[in-house]
Amino acid sequence: MEIKVSQAAELIGGKIFGDPDVVFTGLADIKNAAPTDLTFIYNPAYQKYLETTKASSIIVNPSIKKTRTDLTYIEVEDSAKGFYKILIKYFNPTITLNGIDESAFIHPTANIGQNTSIGKNVVIEENCIIGNNTTIFHNTVILRDCKIGNSVLIYPNVTIRENSEIGDNVIIHSGTVIGADGFGYSPDKNGVYTKIPQIGKVIIENDVELGANVTIDKAALGATIIQSGTKIDNLVQVGHNVEIGKHTAISAQSGISGSTIVGNHVVMGGQVGLADHLEIADGVLLGAQSGVGKSIKKPGKYFGSPALDLSTTLRLMTHYKYLPEYADKISRLEKKLKSLEEKLAKLDEDN
């Protein structure tokens, strides 16, 4: 595909400096771009690569100096968002699965929507409802009584357990399991565990994306809920009866224990752990590897284990490296104090 700089600039509302008829056929980062690529700079720290890039055209913020006259520039307020808009418009990967493969098992009571594609060895059990324009790739298993909306994209080897509900425009990546049993057991006096049946379900609302190998447990009673627009990275565990709000982003290897409620527009870094039965307020940002054992009721930035507000954690971290010195200093002070106390005691005796 050949795209003129003038087309790209019109799409993103950019101002052209240079030749508007320059053509690009691909997108690349500034260090690895070829002469046929469009690239971008979103941070002044990458200005140094401007002199060596082989790209023919580049998207920049107004703060970036246009030092090369052989390049064509597209200037916009947010170069990264402009670049992504072009990526989505012209270079979005296409899905090639079409029709229903003859190896798929679809129960006679299942209702399959129009223009829905189903791959090899897919299993769809009784009373499932699958919407229009949905794509279900190979080896996916959807158990009974599930409802899946329109324009859903399910990659290979996904398991969706019984009674799960999935909205429109949801993307589910390979290896994800939706509706596994929640971790519910009752120990007796001897420490022997009895399994508690998990009879709830999972509800995933519209425009959610789940990464590879995500596990979302069904509720013991009621529903585990992922609200609209939330994005969950690979290898995330969501426990039973958890509720996650709208437009929240959760990074890889994070875990949310049962019955915890996470608000809207929350951001969780990698390997964050949340204990059970907590409440996390709207607009909370949790730094990577934070361990949260208590509810967070106010929006803001939190970090550490236990997670504290960011400013407190940074102050503590500043002192951590000096702890050996502090210990030595305290030891010396204690010795001096003891010596002074002995001298004062002796003076008292003499008097």
Please tell me the distance from the alpha carbon of residue 345 to that of residue 324, in angstroms, as a whole number.
31
Say whether both 301 and 164 belong to one domain. Answer: yes
Say whether both 184 and 305 belong to one domain. Answer: yes
Give the CATH number, domain containing residue 62.
Answer: 3.40.1390.10
Say whether both 259 and 345 belong to one domain. Answer: no
Determine the 3-state secondary structure of 118 from DSSP.
strand
Domain that holds residue 246: 158-311
Say whether both 165 and 301 belong to one domain. Answer: yes
pLDDT value of residue 303:
93
Residue 261 has pLDDT above 90, yes or no: yes
Tokens standing for 343?
A: 């001298």
Tokens standing for 270?
A: 């990698």
Give residues with Cβ within 8 angstroms of 48, minimum separation 6.
Answer: none
Asked, for residue 268, whether it belongs to a domain, the answer is: yes
Q: How sure is the predictor about 8, in pLDDT bands with cuts at 50, 70 and 90?
A: very high
pLDDT value of residue 326:
87
Please tell me the distance from the alpha carbon of residue 309 to that of residue 331, in angstroms, as a whole number.
31
Residue 9 has pLDDT above 80, yes or no: yes
Say whether both 194 and 274 belong to one domain. Answer: yes
Say whether both 333 and 255 belong to one domain. Answer: no
Q: Which residues are designated catalytic? A: 240
Boundary of a domain, candidates 64, 90, 116: 90
Min mean pLDDT across 67-71, 177-181, 239-243 is at: 67-71
Min mean pLDDT across 8-12, 96-100, 256-260, 336-340 is at: 336-340
Residue labelled with tokens 């064509």 = 72
Please tell me the distance from the alpha carbon of residue 213 to that of residue 296, in angstroms, as a whole number.
28
The 10s digit of each residue's pLDDT in 90-113 is: 998 888 899 999 999 999 999 999
Asked, for residue 204, whether it belongs to a domain, the answer is: yes
Say whether both 280 and 328 belong to one domain. Answer: no
Please tell me the distance from the alpha carbon of residue 121 to that of residue 113, in angstroms, as a whole number.
19
Say whether both 172 and 283 belong to one domain. Answer: yes
Nearest to 18 by CA among 29, 31, 5: 5
Say whether both 162 and 298 belong to one domain. Answer: yes
Asked, for residue 100, whether it belongs to a domain, the answer is: no
Please tell me the distance from the alpha carbon of residue 276 to that of residue 243, in angstroms, as a whole number.
12
Say whether both 74 and 183 belong to one domain. Answer: no
Asked, for residue 132, whether it belongs to a domain, the answer is: no
Check if the beta carbon of residue 154 is closer than 8 Å to that of residue 135. yes
Q: How sure is the predictor about 79, in pLDDT bands with cuts at 50, 70 and 90?
A: very high
The 10s digit of each residue's pLDDT in 38-60 is: 999 988 889 999 999 999 999 99
Give the CATH number, domain containing residue 300.
Answer: 2.160.10.10
Mean pLDDT value of segment 154-164? 98
Boundary of a domain, candidates 69, 90, 111: 90
Run of H or E including 6: helix 5-12
Min mean pLDDT across 64-68, 191-195, 251-255 is at: 64-68
Please tell me the distance from the alpha carbon of residue 123 to that of residue 151, in angstroms, as a whole number.
19
Asked, for residue 216, whether it belongs to a domain, the answer is: yes
CA-based diameter of the chain, in Å?
107
Please tell me the distance from the alpha carbon of residue 216 to that of residue 180, in angstroms, as a whole number.
7
C-alpha pair distances (Å), 111 with each of 69, 103, 128: 60, 18, 6
Please tell me the distance from the alpha carbon of residue 349 to that of residue 351, in angstroms, as a whole number.
5
Determine the 3-state secondary structure of 34 from DSSP.
coil
Asked, for residue 74, whether it belongs to a domain, the answer is: yes
Say whether both 215 and 258 belong to one domain. Answer: yes
Check if the beta carbon of residue 12 is closer than 8 Å to that of residue 82. yes
Asked, for residue 350, whether it belongs to a domain, the answer is: yes
Q: What percent of the chain has pLDDT over 70?
A: 100
Nearest to 110 by CA among 153, 149, 145, 151: 145
Asked, for residue 217, whether it belongs to a domain, the answer is: yes
pLDDT value of residue 323:
87
Work out the mean pLDDT of the chain and round it to a whole number: 95
The DSSP 8-state label assigned to residue 326 in this structure reads H
Say whether both 296 and 333 belong to one domain. Answer: no
As a whole number of Å, the CA-based R_g of the chain is: 29
Give the count of domains, the chain: 3
Give residues with Cβ within 8 angstroms of 147, minimum separation 6.
Answer: 128, 129, 164, 165, 166
pLDDT value of residue 351:
67
